Amino acid sequence: MKDLLAYYPLRRVLHGLAMYVLLVLALSVVFNQVAEKSLRSQVDEEVVRVLRLSGNLEPAAFDALKASTYGELKSRYHLDESWASRVLWRAADVLSFRFGQSDSLKSASGERSVLGLLLEVLPNTLLLFGSEAILVMALGLVVGLLAARRRGGILDRGLSVLPMFLNGFPPWWIGMLALMALAYALPLFPSGGIQSNPAPAGLRRGFDLLWHLALPLLVLVALNLWGFALQVRNLVVGLVESPWIRAARSRGVPETSILFRHVLAGARPALLTMLVMGLLQSISGNLLIEGIFGWPGIGNLYFIAVQQSDVPVLLGVLAFQTFLNLVGLVGLDLAYRLLDPRVAARDLAGARA
């Protein structure tokens, strides 16, 4: 068993699972009181529904049915147990993705399942932030390499100032300015949503989706591109004087080939780290962008749940987002060792020692 645990990927997965369990337990403790208040309201609604469906009953039968229904529902939801037991049951439900029922929100099919709501909006969030990650990486690589190639030039000097300037403004504020300027003052883009109403059919439906995606995507790329490009520039500047780069220059390899082949080959682990961390931070920190633009993703769902004090949805979104972050971090750690075998060899040597 000791040799098995020494295997690094398994240890990292187990550490990630342990961290997720602890975080979910902490969320269950924090949300316990308000979650139970919501759950008791759902129990009361269910009891009223059962009593209405029972028809006309004698007072004694009515009281007996009410008491038995209350007792059954409280036992089902563990409301008749101790505080510690209720917290553990809630944590177990969250760990198994049983987030319960929403207090007020419904999915497109009319269901109130929190997991159903999350799965319904998750593809929209992945579409927005996944597209942003691809564009930021592609454009950031080009801009960062060009700035590193012409150190001290206009692009290089501007790249050292622009990220600090943009970081001085809240993303939601820039999003609101873009919305007012490009959706209202100059109606170039729709003011929100994911599709027009009524939604067009056929190929026009895809173009309509891209039209609605354009403005929030433009804002996210404009906010995150320059910081990523600056990191690429600093990384490349540190690698261009490496021995293998000098050897390539001595062989007469063109500078463009050196930058795009040799330098990027040595920078792959760091670039992957920057990309994944940037994506996770973007999803966590820019969820309000979805609310501002009415993009039906996890951020917009969280925004609406806060407005309506829908505790089950809030707990589900936080737990689901925590799960995505930990999966991303563990996956990044494992991928880093595939891209850089020296790190894997060092970890295995340390485990055997």
pLDDT digits over 306-320, tens only?
A: 888 888 888 888 888
Mean pLDDT of the chain: 81
What pLDDT is recorded for position 348? 57
* Cis peptide upstream of residue 198 (ω within 30 degrees of 0): yes
- The rounded distance, in Å, linking the Cα atoms of 40 and 29 is 17
Are 139 and 78 in the same domain? no
- Token digits of residue 162: 């622009």
**Domain of 61, in residue numbers:** 2-95
Are 136 and 71 in the same domain? no
Mean pLDDT of 131-151: 85
pLDDT digits over 85-96, tens only?
A: 888 888 888 888
Percent share of the chain, pLDDT over 90: 5
Compute and round to an integer the Cα radius of gyration of the chain.
26
Helices 264-285 and 311-339 pack at an angle, to 10 degrees, of 180
pLDDT digits over 95-125, tens only?
A: 888 888 887 888 877 888 888 898 898 888 8
Q: Check: pTM over 0.85? Answer yes or no.
A: no
Report if residue 118 sits inside a domain: yes
Q: Which region among 29-33, 66-70, 200-204, 343-347 has the lowest average model confidence (pLDDT)?
A: 343-347
What's the total number of domains in the chain? 2
The phi and psi torsions of 305 (rounded to 5 degrees) equal -65, -35
Helix (H) / strand (E) element for 266: namely helix 264-285
Report if residue 106 sits inside a domain: no
- The type of residue at 145 is L
Helix (H) / strand (E) element for 151: namely none
Are 146 and 257 in the same domain? yes
pLDDT band at 285 (very low <50, low <70, confident <90, very high): low
What's the CATH number where 273 sits?
1.10.3720.10
Cβ-Cβ contacts under 8 Å for 319 (sequence gap 6 or more):
24, 27, 94, 99
Are 62 and 201 in the same domain? no
Q: Which region among 37-46, 69-78, 126-135, 337-346 has the lowest average model confidence (pLDDT)?
A: 337-346
CA dihedral 279, 302, 107, 319 (to 10 degrees): 70
Are 130 and 59 in the same domain? no
Report if residue 332 sits inside a domain: no
Are 9 and 122 in the same domain? no
Say if CB 279 and CB 325 are below 8 A apart: no
Report if residue 52 sits inside a domain: yes
Q: What is the largest CA-CA distance in the chain?
A: 99
Say if CB 215 and CB 183 are below 8 A apart: yes
Cβ-Cβ contacts under 8 Å for 133 (sequence gap 6 or more):
275, 278, 279, 282
Are 168 and 60 in the same domain? no
Are 74 and 141 in the same domain? no
Model confidence at 19: pLDDT above 50: yes
Are 294 and 204 in the same domain? yes
Report if residue 16 sits inside a domain: yes
Are 131 and 87 in the same domain? no
The phi and psi torsions of 170 (rounded to 5 degrees) equal -65, 140
Name the DSSP class of 308.
Answer: T
Report if residue 57 sits inside a domain: yes
The phi and psi torsions of 286 (rounded to 5 degrees) equal -115, 25
Say if CB 139 and CB 202 are below 8 A apart: no
- Token digits of residue 22: 């602890």
Say if CB 137 and CB 229 are below 8 A apart: no
Are 146 and 23 in the same domain? no
